[in-house]
Amino acid sequence: MNVLFVIDVLGTFAFAISGALVALEKKFDMFGVLIIAFVTAVGGGMLRDILIDAHPINWIGNLNYVYIIFAAVVFTFLFKSKIAHLSKTMFLFDTIGISVFTLLGLKKGLAFNLHPIIALIMGMISAVFGGVLRDVLTNNIPLIFEKEIYASACLAGGIIYLILNYLNVGEHVSFIISASVIVAIRVVVVKFKLELPKIENDLFTKHK
């Protein structure tokens, strides 16, 4: 079985569970939970495909995504009280998931002959905008805008991939190195609780 497919499945499953948990905390009904899980898991890839006019759109062309999301929602309903104890495991799946989604989105952009910078943006959209849509629909400030170095990790890994691709490094090696960079940044950031600096004052602000 293709390793990337397995990682894609695990990442999609983890994303769907994260969406379902947020929806349950907001007291959504079953249909609402399913919708939030769906947009969290495939919203980024769907938005990417719409922007680059790729057809069929990710989940429409591959019903495996739909089955995975349904399974994740059922799993969440059945084992909600136990999932909290799996936070480290879910974080691992989520982190690996965003690394793979970033690079797959980037590769898809390059395959559509987009400029590398635009392809890089498409990769980031693939990885993080499911979470943005989840937070907007549940009336929360999107996590990537508030505190976690999330999109920045995807950006760094994507840049590494483009550099390695430019240097004609083998595809598998480039993918592994770039994905590892994203995972490493996320792990270090969360472990040491790092954040990007916030702009509070400018040059003309008077300090008291």
- pLDDT (tens digit, 9 = 90+) per residue, 113-126? 999 999 999 999 99
Question: Looking at the domain assignment, is residue 205 inside a domain?
Answer: no
Question: Looking at the domain assignment, is residue 13 inside a domain?
Answer: yes
Q: What is the pTM of this model?
A: 0.88
Residue 110's domain comprises 3-191
SS3 98: helix
Rounded distance between C-alpha atoms, residue 165 and residue 109, angstroms: 14
Question: Looking at the domain assignment, is residue 18 inside a domain?
Answer: yes
How many domains, the chain? Answer: 1
Question: Looking at the domain assignment, is residue 207 inside a domain?
Answer: no
Query: If pLDDT is split at 50, 70 and 90, which confidence band does 204 have?
Result: low
**pLDDT at residue 80 tops 70:** yes
Question: Looking at the domain assignment, is residue 115 inside a domain?
Answer: yes
Residue % of the chain over a pLDDT of 70 = 93
Question: Looking at the domain assignment, is residue 153 inside a domain?
Answer: yes
Question: Looking at the domain assignment, is residue 87 inside a domain?
Answer: yes
Residue 68 exposed, middle or buried by CB count within 10 Å (0-12, 13-18, 19+): buried
Question: Looking at the domain assignment, is residue 200 inside a domain?
Answer: no
Alpha helices in the chain (DSSP H): 3-25, 30-51, 58-61, 64-83, 87-111, 116-137, 143-146, 151-166, 171-192
Shortest CA distance to 14 belongs to which of 73, 78, 85? 73
